[in-house]
Structure 1
Amino acid sequence: MRKGLFMLLLVFITALLVACGDEKGDSVDELVSLDVEFIVPETADVGETVELKALVTYGDEPVTDADEVQFEVWETGKQDESDKIEAENHEDGTYTIDYTFEHDGVFEMYAHTTAHDLHTMPKKELTVGEGGNNDHEDHDHGDHGHGFHTEGFDLHFMEPENVTAGEETELMTHITMDEDGLKDANVRYEIWQDKDNTDWVDAEENNAGEYVANYSFEETGTYHIQIHVEDDEDLHEHAEYEVEVQ
């Protein structure tokens, strides 16, 4: 009888230790993060070609197969005219492009990076030649003139191209807090052509910091999209964009 009780107790203790080990393992997994070291020179000469480099790691391991690494470069105050270039994967955790700056100015850039179902978009600034006028409202945020109030918050709307009336269009926004994808936010798209007729569309979080919704624009013309972001800690930010529908 005592032997049976001892064996039963041993089985119970073993199961408890295994469960604790699994919980510990889960905690370790949750602490693994996607990190991007965005390597950009602080200055460049007019006409100079410079290398923009992203060093991507997941935990302590280099990411050799990122789903996407895209560099977006624009002159401060002109993000509507940004260049978006897919990076070359060197299969050692580094992703690069060569970029030539053709005139004086202050330029900003993102390294949009998606891997392991996570998204991050570190941001850098580079001064070319004599620089330029930095007095732009969107200098720190790249949100088309809508300054954000929360320190470390950033939002990037992937503006759709070739939108056709009557066809479903994907609306995607990447949102970060301190350059890490913002998880579990409440994101809604407020869409209108006539302010008296407004649609509200809830976005779903596909990956950490990536919020997507599908919407069919009924008519041709210019539509306004205001993106609202909230969370459980009093965060409330928004930014407005325009989309041309053919």
Structure 2
Amino acid sequence: MVKKVSMFLFFCSLLVLAACGETNEDGPQAAEDEEVKSLDVAFDVPETADVGESVTLEATVLYGDEPVKDAEEVIFEVWEKGNKEDSSKDLKSTNNQDGTYTVETTFDQDGVYEMYAHTTAKDLHTMPKKSITIGEVNKQEAADEHHSAEHEHGAHTEGFHMHFNQPKDVMVDQETAMTVHLQMNDKPLEQATVRYEVWKEGEEKHHWVDTEETNAGEYTGKHSFSEKGTNYVIVHVENDDGLHEHEEHVVEVTE
């Protein structure tokens, strides 16, 4: 009887050791398989072009070292320097099925233009920025504009980018989602504290809206506007590294 009990305990020990061995063997491999890679976009834009000339904007999308052939969205937003509010965001790209996304566009007047390649893939968002000089522009002025392309609104920390998704068709007493994408040195800015300061034109009372980081570098908060008219939204950004940025936007509530 004692011998049978000993044999039973021996086999139980073997089973426990085998289970532990499988756990230890699979653990590191599973961790390696689940490793989060970075979403990188090489944004290729000519430095100069002529008025009316066809210009190719190209984004090469990589997840780690692998080309992304099925990005959810690649959209090019273009605006004339100093006129960001009138940007055009309808330049949807063509997926070339090799990790590159392109669009052809033209510019109808001289000037320096800036652009984002808004890229969403693998539940991540990134938005590299470039500029292009069109036609006859003073060379020194163009050089200054290119150097300042990294400083939207002329006051941001070097390498920091903020893109506020302008809400459309905002209605009274309807909960409106407001989203901002943040980057630092071409990487999503994660774990920041982002709040929206909201108030109606002519009123002193300001509302504060907290946000949630829904994706890496993407922060969303919801607010219901109580009256129609012009409202202002300041995006406040802070983090533990001492970053403190803000940017003001206008939201029109129609009805």
TM-score (norm 2): 0.85
Q: Deviations over 1:96-150 (max 9, x none)?
A: 11110111111111000000010100111111112265677x943564x35113x
Find the aligned partners of 2:17 and 2:69 in 1 and give their Cα distance. 47
- 1:50 aligns with 55
1:114 aligns with 2:120: yes
1:232 aligns with 2:240: yes
1:127 aligns with 2:136: no
- 1:183 aligns with 190
Q: Secondary structure at the match of 2:248?
A: strand
Find the aligned partners of 1:130 and 1:50 in 2 and give their Cα distance. 16
Q: Secondary structure at the match of 1:183?
A: coil
Q: Report the Cα offset of residue 176 of structure 1.
A: 0.6
Q: Which runs of 5+ in 1 are unaligned?
A: none
Find the aligned partners of 1:177 and 1:16 in 2 and give their Cα distance. 37
Find the aligned partners of 1:189 and 1:36 in 2 and give their Cα distance. 28
1:40-119 mapped onto 2 (5 Å cutoff): 40-84=45-89, 85-119=91-125
Identity between Structure 1 and Structure 2 (%): 47
1:187-226 mapped onto 2 (5 Å cutoff): 187-193=194-200, 194=202, 196-226=204-234
Q: Which protein is bigger by CA-based radius of gyration?
A: 2
Q: Report the Cα offset of residue 45 of structure 1.
A: 0.9
Query: What amino acid is the match of 2:213?
Result: E
1:172 aligns with 2:179: yes
Find the aligned partners of 2:11 and 2:66 in 1 and give their Cα distance. 48
Q: Which runs of 5+ in 2 are unaligned?
A: 1-5
TM-score (norm 1): 0.88
Query: What amino acid is the match of 2:184?
Result: M
- 1:20 aligns with 28
Q: Report the Cα offset of residue 153 of structure 1.
A: 0.9
Find the aligned partners of 2:216 and 2:169 in 1 and give their Cα distance. 27
- 2:163 aligns with 156
Q: How many residues align?
A: 240
Q: Deviations over 1:166-215 (max 9, x none)?
A: 22222111111111211221111110115521111111112111111221
Find the aligned partners of 1:139 and 1:58 in 2 and give their Cα distance. 29
Contact 2:171/2:253 (CA < 8 Å) preserved in 1?
yes
Q: Using a 3 Å threshold, how does the CA distance of structure 1 residues 103 and 21 change in structure 2: closer, same or farther? A: same
Find the aligned partners of 2:183 and 2:32 in 1 and give their Cα distance. 27
Find the aligned partners of 1:168 and 1:14 in 2 and give their Cα distance. 50
Q: Secondary structure at the match of 2:149?
A: coil
Query: What amino acid is the match of 2:57?
Result: L
Find the aligned partners of 2:45 and 2:245 in 1 and give their Cα distance. 29
Query: What amino acid is the match of 1:107?
Result: Y
Find the aligned partners of 1:6 and 1:168 in 2 and give their Cα distance. 60
Find the aligned partners of 2:171 and 2:18 in 1 and give their Cα distance. 67
Q: Secondary structure at the match of 1:91?
A: coil
Contact 2:114/2:149 (CA < 8 Å) preserved in 1?
no
Find the aligned partners of 1:142 and 1:225 in 2 and give their Cα distance. 20
